[in-house]
Amino acid sequence: MISRRLPALVTLFIASATYAAAQSPLPMADPAAVGMAPERLARVDGVVSEAIQRGEEPGAVVVIGRRGQLVYRKAFGQRATLPVAEPMTEDTIFDAASLTKVIATATAVMILVEEGRLSFTDTVTGYIPGFAENEKGKITLLQLLTHYSGLRPDLDLNEPWVGYDTAISLACKEKPIALPGEKFIYSDINYFLLGDIVSRVSGQTLAQFAKERIFTPLGMKDTGFQPDLQLISRIAPSEPRDRVMLRGTVHDPTAFRMGGAAGHAGLFTTVDDLAIFAQMLLNQGTFNGTRILSPLAVLAMTTPQSPVGMNAFRGIGFDIRTSFSSTRGDLFPVGSFGHTGFTGTSLWIDPWTETFVIVFTSRLHPEGKGNASPIRKRVASVVAASILEIPSVRDFYRH
């Protein structure tokens, strides 16, 4: 068994948490200049430090933005504890896990919808003919995007399957566990199917399409699948697989078996790159003069697209109000949106207050036993409580 990290080292790196604005993609601002209370926002320090002291994660990076500027960018604790301790840095590259679903896959689908090459009402079988087996012929792209397809959460990992094509073939043989549109079931199968559809329609792999159409245009220089080994020293390790610590290799077992790049997981990124993506959404699809999506496409992604009468609200990719929404905290309104990653990553965006909260943790390191849920929720609540200038409440309800 891998030994636990030493409390003394954790304390050392909590004390050495630092600001580093020089490399941030957005301008830094005094919180007061964007209508926030600096003394309230400073409480984030204590929330993160206490989570590390409780052993919930060895380290974290937090970035907070409002009105197009960063008001907080800080690293805490350790990026790695084994085989040697490494301090967390603001430019650490993380396995984004399920953030892949929104950053790469859902955004890629929206681009193809805008170009008239896909439609939400298209059936999956229109692109993957074998998918019709076991009464799945009527499942639509929208039902995949919102997790209302009726498919189970994942393929059977107890079976010794391996390979991208094998995963697609197994998905085609799946039998739904609920009728399409009947029940919200968060499913990785939904999103690796969507990634495959992006590939079939575009003629490129999802990784190629996302790099060419999303990451490179936005200047997300450290975002991509299967990161270059030259970046290994900046990548946060997760936990061992077959006694080898994962570092730069995707943690998600299904994505790993599919070759490391899939529509549901496999992306690596930094808080700075994700800040660019978040601001692009708040800017209604554009960043630094580069348009990725139209304003109405962003609206479709970030407003409820779930079947009428359902209590679980999902946009195109984004979570709005479901059992996964604790990242919203206690104060941001329903109507804000975001997503999490199993490895300890998260993003939450409130368009009403023009605010985003990014919390990346190394919660799986070194033994896979950490918990990022408390820090996500508490940081969001502290950030929301620091916002003193808000638009008219009347305008919020009108919106």
Question: pLDDT tens digit string along 224-246?
Answer: 999 998 999 999 999 999 999 99
Q: What are phi and psi of 63, to 5 degrees?
A: -130, 135
392 pLDDT above the threshold of 90? no
399 pLDDT above the threshold of 90? no
Q: What are phi and psi of 385, to 5 degrees?
A: -70, -20
What pLDDT does residue 7 have?
37
User: Domains of the chain: which residue ranges?
Assistant: 7-96+207-398, 103-203
Q: How far is CA 57 from the centre of its chain?
A: 18
pLDDT-based confidence at residue 394 (cuts at 50, 70, 90): low
Pairing verdict, β 355-361 and 59-66: antiparallel
Distances (CA, A) of 122 to 113, 139, 194, 229: 11, 8, 12, 39
**Class of domain 103-203 (CATH, top level):** mainly alpha
pLDDT-based confidence at residue 1 (cuts at 50, 70, 90): very low
Centre a 10 Å sphere on the Cβ of residue 394 and count the other Cβ atoms it contains: 8
Query: Cβ distance 70 to 63 under 8 Å?
Result: yes
Rounded CA separation 263/105 (Å): 6
Instruction: For 307-345, write each residue's pLDDT tens digit.
Output: 999 999 999 999 999 999 999 999 999 999 999 999 999
Pairing verdict, β 69-80 and 86-87: antiparallel
Averaged pLDDT score across all residues of the chain: 94
Rounded CA separation 284/81 (Å): 40
Q: How far is CA 223 from the centre of its chain?
A: 12
For residue 150, give every residue at least 6 positions away whose Cβ sits within 8 Å of its Cβ, in sequence order, or none. Answer: 139, 143, 176, 177, 178, 179, 180, 181, 182, 183, 185
6 pLDDT above the threshold of 60? no
Residue with tokens 């990026």: 79
354 pLDDT above the threshold of 50? yes
Instruction: For 181-222, write each residue's pLDDT tens digit.
Output: 999 999 999 999 999 999 999 999 999 999 999 999 999 999
CATH architecture of 7-96+207-398: 3-Layer(aba) Sandwich (3.40)
pLDDT-based confidence at residue 360 (cuts at 50, 70, 90): very high
